[in-house]
Amino acid sequence: MNTILRFVLAGLALGFAFTAPVLAADDARSIKQVMGENFQNVHKILNDLITSNYVTLPKDVAAIHNHAEALAKRPPAGISSREERDLFVSYATNLRVAASHLITVSEELIRRDEKPAAPGALKIDYLRVVAAEHYGAMITSCALCHNQFRRYIVSMAGR
């Protein structure tokens, strides 16, 4: 499957995953607001990856990183078994780690893009592919978690 199509499909999957109501945020903001921000960020991140515009990536990905960190500390109350709790925390941890790696890679891409390229050289390298892989890992973590635990999250939201 071509890379752009994979990005688009991955972005749609993550967008779907972020539309479900989730846990209460650590701060005073509502979880609906946090999820709305994440939903906007994942689309912006996808666009920035495709267009090689890395300047705002660290900040945008950091918001998702912080969300994952909060989720790992506060699994849904409806999860009763240790196995399910561990699985939930592992998804949140995988999201946090993928986001952390994407921040690191995007910071390096920003430094590289500040240097002038040789005439006629394409600004393509494997580091861009690594950034795309970490974005895909973020999406996968979100989709897996929402598919597994949405029933707890929806019941907590009063639906």
Residue 41 lies in a domain: yes
Residue 135 maps to a domain: no
The answer as to whether 122 is a domain residue is no
Q: Is the pLDDT at 18 greater than 50, yes or no?
A: no
Residue 13: give the domain boundaries: 3-115+140-156
Using one digit for the tens of pLDDT, what is the confidence trace for 85-118? 999 999 999 999 999 999 999 999 999 888 877 7
Question: Is residue 132 assigned to a domain?
Answer: no
| Residue 26 counted as domain residue | yes
State residue 129's pLDDT score. Answer: 92
Tokens of 9: 């499909």
Q: Do the domain assignments include residue 42?
A: yes
Q: What is the pLDDT of residue 12?
A: 40
103 domain residue, yes or no: yes
Q: In the chain, how many domains are there? A: 1
What does 80-110 look like in DSSP terms, one character per residue?
-SHHHHHHHHHHHHHHHHHHHHHHHHHHHHH
State how far the Cα of 82 lies from the Cα of 93, in Å rounded to an integer.
16
3-state helix, strand, coil in the chain (%, to 5): 75, 0, 25
Residue 75 is assigned to a structural domain of this protein: yes
CA distance 137 to 66: 16
Q: Could you report the per-residue pLDDT of 36-85, keeping only the tens digit for each?
A: 677 778 889 999 999 989 999 999 999 999 989 988 888 877 788 999 99
